[in-house]
Amino acid sequence: MQVAEQKHPKHDHQICVEDALKLAQELCISRGQRFTDTRQRVLELVWQGHSAVKAYDIIDKFARDGSATKPPTVYRALDFLLEQGLVHRIESLNAYVGCAHPEEGHTSQFLICDNCETVVELETPRLKKALKEAADKAGFSVNQQTVELHGICPHCRAAA
């Protein structure tokens, strides 16, 4: 059982996984992309909880399931999932989380609990706009935006 599931017992996380896989399949078909078994399995493993997952944790899970795979295979699958907007890379943790809205092109911000490592994806258009305006004012052209806020989630604060 994942940490997020333990802390949120009323949350049926299996629905999150099923919905993410179904939507990924539909998006790949509509985009003319192949959603291979390996890509599907990697996405499923990323969605196993609401915590960020490292590539080597995914590789270890493949091995434990009896279907050992090499690191380049997992990294290629993660690159594909990133390109399709199905996962996000959490830079500060060198890990990945499932994207809640892969059908929409968007820039997200992340709340990361330093205690239970739950990651919450936010989309705050006002923040995105403010950062763009500040960059424009500085004459800077932004290619990528990553905003990660570390702290303690409400459930961990309540438990403390």
Q: Domain locations in the chain?
A: 3-159
What kind and span of H or E run contains 80?
Answer: helix 71-83
Query: How long, in residues, is the chain?
Result: 160
Task: Please tell me the distance from the alpha carbon of residue 72 to that of residue 77, in angstroms, as a whole number.
Answer: 8
Q: What pLDDT, on the 0 to 100 scale, is given for residue 113?
A: 95
pLDDT at 8 over 60: no
Give the predicted TM-score (pTM) of the model: 0.84
89-119: b (≥16 Cβ within 10 Å) or e: ebeebebbbbbbebeeeebbbbbbbeebbbb
Maximum mean pLDDT: which of 19-23, 31-35, 47-51: 31-35
Structure confidence by residue, pLDDT tens digits, 79-127: 999 999 999 999 999 999 999 888 887 788 999 999 998 999 988 889 9
* Angle subtended at Cα 108 by Cα 102 and Cα 111, rounded to the nearest 5 degrees: 120
**What SS3 class is residue 29?**
helix
Fold of 3-159: Arc Repressor Mutant, subunit A (1.10.10)
Residues 134-152 have a mean pLDDT of: 93
